[in-house]
Amino acid sequence: FFFCVLMKRLFKGKAEEPEGVPIMGLPKEPPKIYSTVSAGDVATVQKYLAKKDLDPNTTEGHDEDTALIWAAYCGQPEIVKLLVEDERVDVNKTNFEGHTPLFYAVARNKAECVVQLLKSEKIDVHGVGIK
């Protein structure tokens, strides 16, 4: 939770800055989808998803979380909805611990995220076939 709040404050209003603009003397890297997701930046997530060469199931970090797992974990229902509606997104993909986006939404009491996940016809509520 703390990290999600920190990311929201850190990236608030920063998503529209052009790539490569130096900040404090360091070259700016393009925003990663995970920081964008935790900040709740719907417009930037839409831009990412518009890129057809993007794999929205890419994992990041030692936990191997996907953008959808991270959105459910941080309680970002609008972003969960965007990701669930994208045909390329595997709504049942697990992270390193074997947890799905639905697991995190339920475990962290993110009811709006649970609702968005359950709208997917592909969601496996019983965990059958999930590795």
- pLDDT per position as a tens digit, 50-109: 998 889 998 877 789 999 999 999 999 999 999 999 999 999 999 999 999 999 999 999
What predicted TM-score, i.e. pTM, was given to this entire model?
0.75
Which residues have a Cβ under 8 Å from the Cβ of 11 and sit 6 or more positions away?
31, 35, 36, 38, 39, 41
Mean of the per-residue pLDDT values for the chain? 81
**Hey, what are 94's tokens?**
């697990």
Residue-range domains of the chain with CATH: 2-12+32-118 (1.25.40.20)
Would you state the structure tokens that stand for residue 47, as one six-digit string? 């831009």
Q: Cβ distance 72 to 102 under 8 Å?
A: yes
